[in-house]
Structure 1
């Protein structure tokens, strides 16, 4: 005979795999799907134990947050982003930052390649190798403090009750505004790509069909868009280093 927690875990185990597949598709090849799923199962167990059934709360919404959070904690503990990827990202970010300042507009790929002193093809390969670099978790851009409490007792949860701190809210809202401005500064095609991925939840293959480019090209454009956002935030005094609280591994 199963209790309510067991039933929730059995019913929502496929959700763990779905979230893991969404994440691993956006990460470097060295990240193992099984590792994410194991961490996600711990998140699901935690969600089942903490969940309090309420008329306006959906367990799947709450569990998804817990599952993804557990997976991101696992990624952070593994230092999953290789140094070579971080190095390539910093080089591109520096070139874009310099060109933004000099041209007073978003530079083209050819201009970034020229700034880096390499052919366009080599720059595009560099973008592909930088796949996985992140800025901040997308859900943090849209989820309000009230949404974070959905399906949980905020007072018993430090992660949720921290949002009662006015300073935490101010920082979150300020960062959200900066990110919105950064995204609006992107070239139109890169804005569209991010919209298709995060607002419409399309996978890489679906995005490639929508844009009429290869899946590899989608990966390149996404890397470039993320680095442009990092450069924008850095130029506007927002620290985007992973050690400073708003970890780059949060957005996936």
Structure 2
């Protein structure tokens, strides 16, 4: 497809193949933690598509969609490897919270309050809430939970790039689902609401904040704290 000047009509081709980008993004997002935004993957995928249009050579005997799929998926994987959602520092802080929650649950026999968790960690409530905001969107299952501490990139290549594999397969286990449902029932009421609106009703943080009458940052904190509590429960399972 060419313009009146005889040049490849890139804009038209981008629109024509944008559905491929969206399809690949949705395939990939289904196998990733909830904090990875579909719009971010689509944006990066469109860059990969544009790159594919510039590099494609029909003389190589490869169909454009096959060639573009590799470029688009590669761009998405590169973005995932370099993004903060895989930060080991954030995961360590999340695990510090989990350890404090676990110790307090054993001692108190109930879900600890934020101030109690902060005190257990030896920090102020404000510092604790800052950490919760920083680790916002931390996933329920980490990659190294299934691949080992050093297997991050290879794990992405093997499972996210493979349409037949699923990094969160353990969540599909019936007993695991039952344990998760039971763990959510034991969350503080407000955190139950956050998890329900976010995961069951597919509401974004801004919408949840409006319903609860709090700031979006506060919703981030509640979500991060809920994930820490759930991971403690599921580890016991």
Match of 1:122 among 127, 133, 147: 127
Counterparts of 1:118 and 1:35, CA distance in 2: 36
Q: Residue 44 of structure 2 aligns with which residue?
A: 38
What are the equivalent positions in structure 2 for 1:17-166 lying under 5 Å apart?
Answer: 26=35, 37-39=43-45, 77-78=81-82, 80-136=85-141, 158-159=164-165
The answer (yes or no) to whether the contact 2:35–2:137 under 8 Å persists in 1 is yes
The verdict on how the C-alpha distance between 1:112 and 1:77 changes in structure 2, with shifts beyond 3 A counting, is: same
The verdict on how the C-alpha distance between 1:11 and 1:82 changes in structure 2, with shifts beyond 3 A counting, is: closer
Q: Residue 224 of structure 2 aligns with which residue?
A: 223
Work out which structure has the larger RCO, using CA pairs closer than 8 Å and 6 or more positions apart in sequence: 1
The answer (yes or no) to whether the contact 1:16–1:40 under 8 Å persists in 2 is no
The answer (yes or no) to whether the contact 1:97–1:235 under 8 Å persists in 2 is no
Counterparts of 1:182 and 1:197, CA distance in 2: 16
Deviates further, 126-135 or 72-81:
72-81
Q: TM (normalized to structure 2)? A: 0.59
Unaligned runs of 5+ in 1: 43-48, 50-68, 138-156, 161-167, 237-252
Counterparts of 2:170 and 2:221, CA distance in 1: 34
The verdict on how the C-alpha distance between 1:124 and 1:170 changes in structure 2, with shifts beyond 3 A counting, is: closer
Unaligned runs of 5+ in 2: 2-13, 49-64, 66-72, 143-162
The alpha-carbon deviation at position 74 of structure 1 amounts to 5.9
Counterparts of 2:190 and 2:182, CA distance in 1: 16
* Residues 16-48 of structure 1, C-alpha deviations (whole Å, 9 max, x = no match): 789999x99935xxx996556335898xxxxxx
Counterparts of 1:185 and 1:36, CA distance in 2: 36
The verdict on how the C-alpha distance between 1:89 and 1:10 changes in structure 2, with shifts beyond 3 A counting, is: closer
Q: TM (normalized to structure 1)? A: 0.56
The answer (yes or no) to whether the contact 1:20–1:37 under 8 Å persists in 2 is no
* Number of residue-to-residue matches in the alignment: 179
Segments of 4+ in structure 1 off by > 3 A?
A: 6-21, 23-27, 31-42, 69-80, 157-160, 168-171
